[in-house]
Amino acid sequence: MYVIKIVIIISIVLLLSGCWDREELSKVSIVTGMAVDKGEKFKYKLTIETTEAREMTTQTATGMAPSFVYSLEGNTVAELANKFNIANATRLVYSHMRLLAISEEVAEDNLLQFMDALDRNREIRDDFSIVVVRGRDAGDLLQVTNMYKKSPSLKLFSQLNHMQKEWGGAPDIKLNDYIRIYNALGQSPVLAAAHITGDPKKGGNIENMKSEDPESEVVVDSLAVIKQGKLAGFASLFEVRDLLFVQGKIKNTVLSVQCVKEDNKFGYHVTKSKTKITAKETNGIPKFHVNIRTEGYLEGLNCRKAITDANAFEGMEKSINKLMEKQIEKFIKKAKEEYDADIFGFGELLREQDYKSYKKYGINWDDGFEKSEIHVDFNSEIKRSGLRTNPYFMN
């Protein structure tokens, strides 16, 4: 009988244990985005976006604003994150945050230490996207609405994910990735960068969501290079893709390549990419061999040469390889000379593969990166030509 009572008590405890911390949605506000700028009177200006759940779906929407944006100034982000109830009547929940926007000014002035507060907070997850906003306040980004996603933060989170998966134009860097790379001696972190077109105040109007030609939009167009916690420069959208090729993170992309002995171009759709890098120091020079192997198919062909020719694919593959090897090596050189930062992670690879040579650099790996020799081999394989062989204009 005693055993039965114990079993019943344990069963009741298991069934009811999930209800003790339940909160009604009407009593909390879900924070979907956060933006950090330099303050006018204090060190930081923190802006948050909270969503109105009823306005997020067509069944319950009443035409009101789908989100609420509010800003405060203070000397620490931790203080500000808990202070918003001077304007907000509900408890803020940060566990569903999807975006952290940082102004270019904050990144330039070495003010990124605030991320420590986000890393320590047990309520804030580390799976949100981070973006540097160029030329404007980061808080402006949280005001630009869009017809596809009513919440600016959710829209940009989705936009960054698709940009990385479909074209390779954004690094998949979350908070835990940034902190891990920041603490690595052989690599410097990067963050996605975006700019706002038009007037962000007009972009915050509900009419902006209904317009076929929005007054304002958020465009992901570059990459922010961070060195020792400070902005070192920006890389172009195409250079972002070069970086991801080296790191083996390309999932899909399309390369525009010049036809053999023609001014026209063809499209090579990469569906598979794999990178292998060997690292070893020889005669005091760190040497790296980057081997990138890709598979894909033709997507858009403006070349005049018939591809029924047995050697047609071979000539195209050589053109692809030559273009990408030149392009990637040029960007590596730029990283050495302009940023003086190893954003590719070559230092970490040398540490793994030739630690005896790596350890003499210690915290001075940038010196090793500067004198390193890096050779890139790009190998493309065209598997098929799509739904047709020769272009329609050759029939």
150-185 pLDDT, tens digit each: 789 999 999 999 999 999 999 989 999 999 999 999
- Residues 73 and 126 placed together within one structural domain of the fold: yes
8 Å CB contact between 188 and 342: yes
Over the range 278-298, which residues count as b (16 or more CB within 10 Å of their CB) and which as e?
ebebeeeebbbebebebebbb
**Is the confidence at residue 395, as pLDDT, over 60?**
no
Greatest mean pLDDT among 7-16, 62-71, 372-381 lies in: 372-381
Ranges 64-73, 126-135, 192-201, 204-213: which has the least confidence: 204-213
- Pairwise CA distance, residues 251 & 327, whole Å: 19
- Residues 45 and 112 placed together within one structural domain of the fold: yes
**Is the confidence at residue 194, as pLDDT, over 80?**
yes
Position 206 in a domain: yes
For residue 201, give its domain range: 26-236
Q: Which of 186, 196, 148, 189 is nearest to 172 (CA)?
A: 189
- Residues 300 and 231 placed together within one structural domain of the fold: no
- Residues 85 and 193 placed together within one structural domain of the fold: yes
What average pLDDT does the segment 305-311 reach? 72
Amino acid of residue 115: M
Q: Going by C-beta distance under 8 Å and a sequence separation of 6 or more, which residues neighbour residue 78?
A: 117, 121
- Residues 207 and 279 placed together within one structural domain of the fold: no
Q: Going by C-beta distance under 8 Å and a sequence separation of 6 or more, which residues neighbour residue 271?
A: 252, 295, 296, 297
- The total of structural domains in the chain comes to 2
What is the pTM (predicted TM-score) of this model?
Answer: 0.89
How does pLDDT run across 326-347, given as a tens digit for each residue?
999 999 999 999 999 999 999 9
pLDDT over 70 for what percent of the chain?
88
pLDDT for 313 = 87
* CATH code for the domain in which residue 369 is found: 3.30.300.210
Position 8 in a domain: no
Compute CA distances 71 → 32, 47, 60, 138, 142, whole Å. Answer: 14, 4, 28, 11, 11
8 Å CB contact between 222 and 193: yes
pLDDT for 210 = 64
Residues 114, 115, 120: CA angle, nearest 5 degrees: 110
- Residues 60 and 131 placed together within one structural domain of the fold: yes
- Residues 56 and 192 placed together within one structural domain of the fold: yes
Position 343 in a domain: yes
How does pLDDT run across 47-102, given as a tens digit for each residue?
999 987 666 666 656 666 778 899 999 999 999 999 998 888 888 999 999 999 99
CB neighbours of residue 26 within 10 Å: 8
How does pLDDT run across 313-331, given as a tens digit for each residue?
898 999 999 999 999 999 9
**Is the confidence at residue 119, as pLDDT, over 70?**
yes
Amino acid of residue 165: K
Position 21 in a domain: no
How does pLDDT run across 272-303, given as a tens digit for each residue?
999 999 999 999 999 999 999 999 999 888 88
Q: Which of 236, 263, 288 is the last residue of a domain?
A: 236
- Residues 220 and 333 placed together within one structural domain of the fold: no
Q: Which of 162, 378, 387 is nearest to 270 (CA)?
A: 378
Helix axes 237-247, 312-334, angle to 10 degrees: 100
